[in-house]
Structure 1
Amino acid sequence: MALRRAAFAVPLLVVVSAALFALASRSPFDPLAGYLGDRYTTTSDADRARLADELGLHDPWWATYGHWVRGLLSGDLGVSRSFGQPVATVIGERLPWTLLLTCLGLGLAIVASFVLGVWSGARPGGPVDRLVAPLASVVQATPPFVLSLGAVAVFALSLGWLPVAGLTDAGTDPTFGQVSEHLVLPVTVLAVSQVPWLAMSVRQSVRDAIGSDAVRGARARGIPERTILLRHVVPLALGPFVTVIGLRLPEIIVGAAIVEEVFSWPGIAGAVVTSARELDFPLLAALTVGTTLIVLIGSLLADVALALLDPRVTADG
């Protein structure tokens, strides 16, 4: 499975990137308007036409795409029209903050969902089980931006416990304490938005494992329930859990982008919005291909982890 997914990665990246250029060429937005900003209305038609030629906006999409691919193969991602910087610089300045938020949020979601899922699945009908299922349904039906706005309204505006948004307080340097304090809300919201799906998956996997022949045999031999849970049930539930995490990666990335926008976190999301609005082809293509590559790598790692957890699963499926 992992080998097939790896072989599929390159043609998929080509299709995704080419489709991006083709669709962007049909966009109703005028990239010059975003590029010039307030100067757009005062710029003459002749100057607009000249600038469009210089930027290659009149070229067919396949020519623009071919130019981008040639630059990519030579290690040059191009220059972002929106930010006036090399694309590598734009991404390099923002990617670490996105990775910090996403990794912390995903890590918290994994730990919380696994604990809740195992606890709920191992004690069906118990207090935790009766609480987890309805709460999961409510959170699943709530978009991440609603969770974000609700968290801001309660914990930042009403209670004043945490800052509203941003990386630091206005006029202060990004110290460890400042960044940590500003991370609490976005990380928690991102984690909460993912916990229901993961927890319910673990809950079902635990229940399936409890009904397996291995667990029934362990009980027949008089092995204590705690030992059965830790040595038999939890390992059996890990495989499906890893698979679900791999499948949820696109949703996690989208959720992180929404959280970044609501909390004004200086990550990749703002660059995505700007590049899409202004048809900044070099930046938009790099972000799209990069995101697709992250999803593919994450899915590949999930396949490898599943093969390590379950010897019955091989790298080639």
Structure 2
Amino acid sequence: MRKRIIKLVLNKIFQFLLVMFLLSLIVFYMARLSPGDPLKSYYGESVERMSIAQQEAAMERLGLDEPIYLQYTKWIENAAAGDFGISFKYKQDVMKVIGDVYENTLILGGLAYILNFGLALLLGVFCALHEEEWIDRIICKIGVVTNCIPAFFISLVFILIFGVNLAILPTSGAYSIGQSQNIMDRLVHLILPLAVLVLGHLWYYTYMVRNKLLEETRQDYVLLCKVKGLSKRQIMWKHCLKNIMPSFISIMAISIPHILGGTYVVEKVFSYPGLGTLSFESAQFHDYNMLLVLCLITGAVVVTANITAQIINEIIDPRMKYERGDLQ
């Protein structure tokens, strides 16, 4: 058993490192082969007044004059030593810029994650208890509609209503000027982005919880519980919900990239200073080093979530191990 666990861990680590290497290679080449001028990102409009000789010297200073494979080799060597380069746009170390804003993404994405799954669980149980009743049908119809509306469109509608017409909620930033330590001010700035993230994802997970619970209510043991005199609510909360929790936890693990992607889009629309806004800016301004590191961070989160979900599924259903030949 110990050897199998070590083998499994080493296998997952190898998969993770391989994916990270391939991701870095693909992003590195795609970024540098894409049209655009990285000098403009670093020097701004002054690059247009440079002579050809000055532009060539600038390319050499930034290490962009060598063949791409040599640039990648040097980047790998520096990254292994903890140096991920400087941001062309911010003229600072890439990790320093990311370190200033990553907490904002963690707060927004983390709260969205907790609210989505917490509310999905409660709403899914409620809909299952009232299957095919008028309240269940209304919630289902509203959920289908909100799930089909793109997040950026909901964001613009909220900005128009609550920020422009009613002017009761802030529509940009993570906090007001000089209020970075004010928790209430931060919470007020989170209301609209969080509302969009919840509306855009909630029904998807609620629908899965609802259907899982309804499948459980049709099992034989539910009939036995009814014979014993248990009410519908008791059966749902004590038995059905308990039986779907392993699947629910697996869904939570594999859905991290889904929530993260939505967070990135919402950050950009609301000008919320986080990793999502940085990602769009780095792609827009050809900030190669920043774009590469952000892609690796995002990729690491996605791969880790998928590996975690796979491990959870194997624990839930040991047959997966037999299919792969991990167990004798």
Superposed pair shares fold, TM > 0.5: yes
Are 1:32 and 1:278, in contact at CA under 8 Å, matched by a contact in 2? no
Residue in 2 aligned with 1:238? 245
| Cα distance in 2, alignment partners of residues 39 and 244 from structure 1 | 51
Are 2:41 and 2:287, in contact at CA under 8 Å, matched by a contact in 1? no
Are 1:117 and 1:200, in contact at CA under 8 Å, matched by a contact in 2? yes
| Cα distance in 1, alignment partners of residues 224 and 95 from structure 2 | 57
Residue in 1 aligned with 2:47? 40
| Cα distance in 1, alignment partners of residues 312 and 135 from structure 2 | 29
For residue 126 of structure 1, the aligned residue among 124, 127, 133 is 133
Shift of 1:112: 1.2
Residue in 2 aligned with 1:257? 264
Aligned partner of 1:271: which letter? L
| Cα distance in 2, alignment partners of residues 195 and 5 from structure 1 | 31
| Cα distance in 2, alignment partners of residues 168 and 5 from structure 1 | 40
Shift of 1:162: 1.3
Are 2:257 and 2:305, in contact at CA under 8 Å, matched by a contact in 1? no
| Cα distance in 2, alignment partners of residues 311 and 19 from structure 1 | 35
| Cα distance in 1, alignment partners of residues 260 and 31 from structure 2 | 21
| Cα distance in 2, alignment partners of residues 153 and 267 from structure 1 | 22
Are 1:108 and 1:191, in contact at CA under 8 Å, matched by a contact in 2? yes
- Whether 1:117 and 2:119 are equivalent positions in the alignment is no
With normalisation by structure 1, the TM-score equals 0.91
Q: Which has the higher contact order (CA 8 A, sep 6+)?
A: 1
Secondary structure class of the residue paired with 1:41: helix
Shift of 1:283: 1.5
- Whether 1:173 and 2:199 are equivalent positions in the alignment is no
Q: 4+ residue stretches of structure 1 with deviation over 6 A?
A: 313-317
| Cα distance in 2, alignment partners of residues 108 and 305 from structure 1 | 22
For residue 216 of structure 2, the aligned residue among 209, 233, 243 is 209
- Whether 1:184 and 2:202 are equivalent positions in the alignment is no
| Cα distance in 1, alignment partners of residues 12 and 196 from structure 2 | 31
Shift of 1:33: 1.9
Are 1:144 and 1:259, in contact at CA under 8 Å, matched by a contact in 2? yes
Residue in 1 aligned with 2:59? 52
| Cα distance in 1, alignment partners of residues 101 and 68 from structure 2 | 28
Shift of 1:236: 2.2
Are 1:249 and 1:295, in contact at CA under 8 Å, matched by a contact in 2? yes
For residue 236 of structure 2, the aligned residue among 229, 237, 254 is 229
Unpaired stretches in structure 1, ≥5 consecutive residues: none
**Deviation per residue, 1:128-180 (Å, 9 max, x gap):** 321222122212211111111111112222223211221233x4422222111
Aligned length: 315
Shift of 1:273: 1.8
Shift of 1:314: 7.8
Higher mean alpha-carbon deviation, 91-100 vs 234-243, is at 234-243
Do the aligned partners of residues 189 and 70 (structure 1) sit closer, same or farther apart at CA in structure 2, a change above 3 Å counting?
Answer: same
| Cα distance in 2, alignment partners of residues 311 and 228 from structure 1 | 24
Aligned partner of 2:225: which letter? A
| Cα distance in 1, alignment partners of residues 190 and 37 from structure 2 | 36
